[in-house]
Amino acid sequence: MRFEIDENLPMELAEELRATGYEAVTVDDQRLVGVNDWHLSEVCKTEGQVFVTLDLDFADIRTYPPNEYPGLIVLRLGRQDKLHVLDVFRRMLKTIDQEPLDSRLWVVEESRIRIR
């Protein structure tokens, strides 16, 4: 699986994914900082990347239908400080191999993951 980490997330998320054996790049790695959401979503589709973001716009299935993407992970967290985001993400990583990501939207909260 290949992942694209949004610019609104710590780059350490990509490092966590790589340490677990996945391919991961950041929006910054690809020089896509500041591009609009639609363009970024098209890059993820074209390159077969699961997009990981804090941007709740990507949870709108009318605008970003999950079946058109390799996967969307939206972190919907009450706190967005770096340590908290990393903690929730590490816990979510344990689920990645148990549930399919392809063509699905995962909304990750502190205590649950909703999959559509």
What tens digit of pLDDT does each residue of 11-49 get?
999 999 999 999 999 999 999 999 999 999 999 999 999
Task: Give the end-to-end CA distance of the chain in Å, rounded to a whole number.
Answer: 19
- Return the pLDDT at 97: 85
Give every CB contact of residue 79 below 8 A, 6+ residues apart in sequence: none
pTM for the model? 0.95
Domains belonging to the chain, first-starting first, are 2-115 (3.40.50)
pLDDT of residue 66: 97
Neighbouring C-beta atoms of residue 108, cutoff 10 Å: 19
